């Protein structure tokens, strides 16, 4: 039996394992998947988790539930020594250990790119993981509660000021959804005024949403501004110390919530701790058929791989890091592994983009396919339709749909459970304690 080891159970890794399970013959190969998280994060749903339109758990797909024939190892791969066909795994508890393999699949994705701006490491939250989306939502809801009992002034204004840094897809979608939630919340808070709410989107380049062309990109800026947002183009955040945001335009404001979505960086483990070939960005260099260039028994796909884009007219182009590619590459990778195990030739990866689609808040969206652009509700409905069909497994599709239908009947759920971060507070500080020893039951008397 060949031992196949998959590093990372996100889009590309999950689909590779799923397909391998379905296609491998009994005793043909055994599959092991290593990931510190027990689930695939369906990242396109995170902006809707921020807005409370998708339940946090439903944006995660359990690996153990859906990968029944794959051995799941909970841990982080800290090094790949492909020459000796061994990886080092660091579990949450206990000592690091080594796992041997015959064939490796590297699908560890990317990480949020953090720039050395003062205060960002201490103050900002990313938007790549479920817990970040939940925290962003809870922070906003809690800020509304705190602001509502304060007199108007700088402290209250800070609580009602939100800053997103980075105008790519995840930033704009998260920003639009949170703005939509905050605007809707005002109805429940008569103490607060609309003009006290400040939403800033800061983007270093001259435009947002690089995946759509210039005109639709400008339309999105106008649409956000029409809804009261401040969009700062050609602007950098130069400091965020103590929540005081300073921009390169010399503008300054206090912001309770700062969300950092300024791009992807290469996964440092893959870029620096493997003996596989990586390019100048730290991505694994692969051939069009997803085999690692010049190395036997190694494959890679998704956001951590530099995959030649055979559908692009630009020579030397690489596929962009998105779910559209990652999931298709994961599936092809599994088919190609099986082909090589059975002595057949693997196929090259070719995918023509299906266009770009983004939510900008409840009932608002944008879609572009070549010269066709749809905006507003039709684009938003397409966004929901596409993603509910794309989230892996029927079980998850039905759960997400049920929450959307419930919200259509009863409105948004505006509950903050920020207190789950401190579950012992009530027990430790609020529990009734007997004052005198005599009141204690017998076993506790000293």
**What gap in Å lies between CA 224 and CA 315, rounded to an integer?**
36
Closer by beta carbon to ligand FAD, 77 or else 262: 77
> Which pair of structure tokens corresponds to residue 353?
């983009």
CB of residue 431 vs ligand FAD: minimum separation in angstroms? 37
CB of residue 213 vs ligand FAD: minimum separation in angstroms? 17
Closer by beta carbon to ligand FAD, 51 or else 269: 269
Closer by beta carbon to ligand FAD, 91 or else 118: 91
CB of residue 393 vs ligand FAD: minimum separation in angstroms? 16
CB of residue 36 vs ligand FAD: minimum separation in angstroms? 6
Return residues touching ligand FAD (CB under 6 A). Answer: 7-13, 34-37, 43-44, 46-47, 76-77, 107-109, 127-128, 169-170, 173, 267, 269, 302-304, 321-324, 326
Which residues face 71 on adjacent strands? Answer: 32
Using Cβ positions, the residue closest to ligand FAD within the complex turns out to be: 10
CA angle 259, 108, 52 (to 5 degrees): 35
Beta carbons within 8 Å of 117's beta carbon, 6+ residues apart? 236, 237, 238, 239, 240
CB of residue 35 vs ligand FAD: minimum separation in angstroms? 4
Q: Compute the half-sphere exposure of residue 214: CA atoms within 13 Å on the CB side of its CA.
A: 2
CB of residue 379 vs ligand FAD: minimum separation in angstroms? 12
Closer by beta carbon to ligand FAD, 24 or else 80: 80
Closer by beta carbon to ligand FAD, 10 or else 346: 10
CA distances in angstroms from 350 to 250, 318, 319, 387, listed in the order given: 46, 11, 9, 22
Question: DSSP readout, 308-344?
Answer: B-TT-SSTT-B--SSHHHHHHHHHHHHHHHHHHHTTP
Q: Collapse the DSSP code of 24 into the 3-class scheme (helix H, G, I; strand E, B; otherwise coil) and give the result.
A: coil
Write phi, then psi, for 396 (nearest 5 degrees).
-70, -40
Closer by beta carbon to ligand FAD, 108 or else 224: 108
């Amino acid at each position: 039996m060949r031992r196949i080891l998959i590093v990372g159970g996100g889009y590309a890794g999950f689909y590779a394992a799923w397909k391998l399970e379905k296609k491998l013959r009994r005793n043909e190969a055994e599959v092991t998947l290593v990931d510190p998280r027990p689930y695939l994060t369906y990242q396109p749903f995170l902006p809707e988790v921020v807005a409370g339109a998708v339940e946090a758990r439903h944006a995660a797909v359990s690996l153990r539930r859906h990968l029944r024939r794959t051995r799941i190892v909970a841990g982080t791969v800290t090094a790949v020594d492909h020459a000796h066909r061994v990886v080092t795994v660091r579990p949450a508890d206990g000592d690091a250990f080594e796992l041997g393999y015959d064939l490796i699949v590297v699908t560890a994705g990317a990480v949020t790119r953090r720039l050395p701006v003062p205060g960002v490491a201490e103050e900002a939250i990313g938007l790549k993981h479920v817990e970040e989306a939940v925290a962003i939502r809870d922070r906003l809801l809690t800020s509304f509660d705190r602001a509502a009992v304060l007199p108007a002034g700088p402290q209250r204004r800070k609580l009602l000021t939100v800053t997103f840094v980075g105008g790519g897809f995840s930033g704009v979608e998260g920003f639009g959804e949170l703005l939509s939630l905050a605007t809707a919340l005002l109805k429940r808070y008569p103490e607060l005024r609309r003009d006290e709410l400040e939403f800033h989107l800061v983007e270093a380049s001259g435009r947002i949403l690089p995946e759509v062309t210039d005109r639709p990109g400008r339309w999105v800026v106008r649409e956000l501004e029409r809804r009261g947002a401040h969009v700062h183009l050609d602007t950098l955040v130069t400091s965020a110390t103590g929540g005081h945001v300073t921009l390169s335009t010399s503008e300054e404001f206090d912001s309770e919530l700062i969300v950092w979505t300024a791009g992807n960086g290469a996964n440092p483990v893959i870029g620096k701790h493997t003996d596989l070939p990586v390019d100048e960005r730290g991505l694994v260099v692969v051939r069009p058929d997803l085999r690692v260039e010049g190395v036997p028994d190694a494959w890679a796909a998704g956001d951590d791989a530099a995959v030649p884009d055979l559908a692009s007219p630009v020579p030397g182009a690489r596929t962009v890091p998105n779910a559209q590619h990652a999931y298709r590459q994961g599936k092809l990778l599994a088919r190609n592994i099986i082909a090589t195990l059975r002595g057949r030739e693997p196929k090259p990866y070719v995918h023509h983009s299906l266009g770009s689609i983004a939510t900008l808040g409840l009932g608002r969206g944008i879609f572009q396919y070549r010269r066709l652009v749809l905006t507003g509700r039709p684009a938003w409905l397409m966004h929901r339709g596409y993603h509910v069909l794309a989230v892996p497994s029927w079980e998850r599709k039905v759960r997400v749909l049920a929450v959307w239908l419930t919200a259509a009947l009863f409105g948004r759920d505006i509950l903050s459970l920020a207190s789950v971060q401190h579950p012992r507070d009530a027990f430790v500080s609020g529990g009734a304690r007997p004052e005198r020893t005599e009141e204690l039951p017998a076993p506790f008397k000293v």
